[in-house]
Structure 1
Amino acid sequence: MSQTERYVYRTEVNPDTINLVDMKVETTFLDVRNNRSLFISESKLLRDSLKTVLRQQEKPEIKKSKKNKPEFPKLANGKSIQPTFFEYFITKDYADKTINFVENIGSKQVYYQEDRKLNWNISPQTSDYNGYKVQKATINFGGRIWTAWFAPEIKISDGPYKLSGLPGLILKLEDDKGDYKFNFVKKLSIPNSFSEDIKPDARKSTRINFQGDKASVKMEMAKNKDAEIDLDNFSPGGGRGMHQRNGMNGRFGGQPGQGMNGGMPNGEMGTPDVQMGSTPRSSTGNGNMMSFGNTNPIELSNK
């Protein structure tokens, strides 16, 4: 496997635009390799890596609590993997300029190819950020006006989420409402990182029909009594995600914040080196994470 260049972002999300609540903080990655990129949250990468190991061991069972609810996997320090606002991953192909939005449903996948053009307005305004000279650009996308600061010296036309197409890597990104903020923290070189790919049997959908096709796949799996669908319970919120209105180097004991490559010498996972922030917990008192819900989706419009 070729080396992955991982761009780490400190990501802040406002979970509720109606009630006054604290911003939730987590870590997201932009992994660049072989003229392609993967945008994914650290929590999802950790969780999906563990799911892959469980499937490879042919042991999809998840330990149940007294109330017959799945217990969330623990990190090496005893803490649970944090819930994420990004219950999906996004791949971009630089050669054919395609952007794919992918969700896992058990062992199945549903995805669509983004069909909207990214029409940026590049400003002559410049600034300095994290040791780089950055330039300002704005775009109206998904019902939000985004302001990006990109670094022309980093010759990667990419950035967090679906946002890309600028003459340089986006290092700072924020929407006009202040609900979503991505701030570049550091770059890591990962020799054998765990990566997400679109499977050959994935259900191809469209942006408009995506939620319906997701429901169809879930119904098919339930009808066929596919045990893999139980792995959806492995994630807080059952994989609903925060999309629209519906809504790792080393080993498990490796270096913090560098993810996983599927090795598992000690059966433990490394501890993230960027704080994930406070997270909501269920009222059951058993330490299970509750869902963030979908009160503040990243896309407010299909236009």
Structure 2
Amino acid sequence: MNKIIVLIMFLAFGKVFCQTDRYIYQTEANPDTINLVDMKVEKTFLDVSKTQTLFISESRLLRDSLRSTLKLQEKQEIKKSKKDKPDFPKLADGKSIQPTFFEYFIIKDLAGNSVNLVENVGPKQVYYQEDRKLNWEITPQTSEYKGYKIQKATVNFGGRNWTAWFSPDIKLSDGPYKFYGLPGLILKLEDDKGDYRFSFLKKVVVTNAYQEQIMPDARKSSRINFAGDKASVRMELSKNKDSQINLDQFNPGGGRGMHQRNGAMNGGFNGPPGGNGGMPNGEMGGAPNMGGMPAATSGQNTGFTNFGNTNPIELTNK
């Protein structure tokens, strides 16, 4: 257990870290609109660096940084048998890395306004650039939230009607998930069915934040062909059976399918939230400012619990 903590701390000196403004959201979702179930809750981050923003779940960031740590330490193999299965990694305060439904991250380029969704199939990244525009309707209605003046805007996207409340005082044209393009940061976001809700909690400055990136060998896809390209990569990996670090067993909950109904993309929410990965002032139990490892995609979720999500965040691919 101490070795895991030491490995995580080692990352603070790696090259994949940078100073980041982190906007933290409480994210809620209704995983099943047919059966009466509790809303799933976890924290998601909007990390803002000089050239891009990153939307990612807390747990995915924690798991990605741990994977990176093990690679840096040349840990090429983890036994998969139940007998030798390693302990689920715990943070310095005894908390465990919580499972997540967000099995992807989203990078927005501040210069070109490109939006890329990146998902892992085993050790391989597959990504696509969002090709739909957000046609916002900004209303004159204003309110106040956490000390900020906020203004209402609406948009139809992915088959849902969304209401956003943005703050003109925060000069960042961005927000959770794929949402951006308003004259200020989105602090509150909810669809009209109440299935998805993003609520800004606070901003922190993370000195050594783990920074996700699209790898040079990532498979570039399109939004329409994303599911097929992921399946193709899975087949290639199963044929090659390359030896790779596999930390799938470190995600006991897993989760899938909060992105599109046709299974093209995975993602979503899970509760309860764990530690605030990468927070200063010991908010993550004394571990350094960091992130986590990519959760497995469908076909890689052996031993995972399926939370039974039937309510994707995008209801249509149009």
Query: What's the TM-score, normalizing by structure 1?
Result: 0.83
Matched, 1:75 2:129: no
Matched, 1:122 2:150: no
Aligned equivalent of 1:61? 77
Matched, 1:295 2:310: yes
Contact kept in structure 1, 2:91 and 2:287, CA below 8 Å? no
Deviation track 1:75-118 (CA, whole Å, cap 9, x = no partner) reads 33444321112110000011111000000222210000000001
Structure 1: how far apart are the matches of 2:221 and 2:251?
Answer: 23
Deviation track 1:194-215 (CA, whole Å, cap 9, x = no partner) reads 0110001100000011011111
- AA paired with 1:66? K
Contact kept in structure 2, 1:135 and 1:149, CA below 8 Å? yes
Deviation track 1:32-76 (CA, whole Å, cap 9, x = no partner) reads 001310000001001111111111112143454637877643333
Higher RCO by CA contacts (8 Å cutoff, separation 6 or greater): 2
Deviation track 1:136-192 (CA, whole Å, cap 9, x = no partner) reads 000000011110000001000000000000000000000111111100000001112
Alignment of 1:22-101 (within 5 A): 22-62=38-78, 64=80, 66=82, 72-101=88-117
Contact kept in structure 2, 1:101 and 1:112, CA below 8 Å? yes
Structure 2: how far apart are the matches of 1:289 and 1:209?
Answer: 26
Aligned equivalent of 1:17? 33
Structure 2: how far apart are the matches of 1:34 and 1:259?
Answer: 25
Alignment of 1:1-303 (within 5 A): 2-62=18-78, 64=80, 66=82, 72-228=88-244, 230-235=246-251, 240-245=256-261, 246=263, 247=266, 249=278, 254-256=282-284, 261=289, 290-303=305-318
Sort the Cα spacing of 1:258 and 1:115 in 2 relative to 1 into closer, same or farther, 3 A.
farther
Partner-residue secondary structure (3-state), 2:38: coil
Structure 1: how far apart are the matches of 2:83 and 2:91?
Answer: 22
Give the superposition deviation at 1:233: 4.9
Contact kept in structure 2, 1:218 and 1:229, CA below 8 Å? no
Structure 2: how far apart are the matches of 1:168 and 1:258?
Answer: 33
Partner-residue secondary structure (3-state), 2:101: coil
Contact kept in structure 2, 1:244 and 1:302, CA below 8 Å? yes
Once the two structures are aligned, what percentage of the paired residues are identical? 70
Query: What's the TM-score, normalizing by structure 2?
Result: 0.80
Aligned equivalent of 2:7? none
Deviation track 1:216-262 (CA, whole Å, cap 9, x = no partner) reads 111111110123274445445767452212145479x9542898556
Partner-residue secondary structure (3-state), 1:4: strand
Unaligned runs of 5+ in 2: 1-16, 267-276, 293-302
Partner-residue secondary structure (3-state), 2:186: strand
Structure 2: how far apart are the matches of 1:109 and 1:257?
Answer: 30
Aligned equivalent of 2:271? none
Partner-residue secondary structure (3-state), 2:21: strand
Partner-residue secondary structure (3-state), 2:47: strand
Structure 2: how far apart are the matches of 1:262 and 1:183?
Answer: 22
Count of paired positions: 279
Structure 2: how far apart are the matches of 1:226 and 1:88?
Answer: 22
- AA paired with 1:256? M
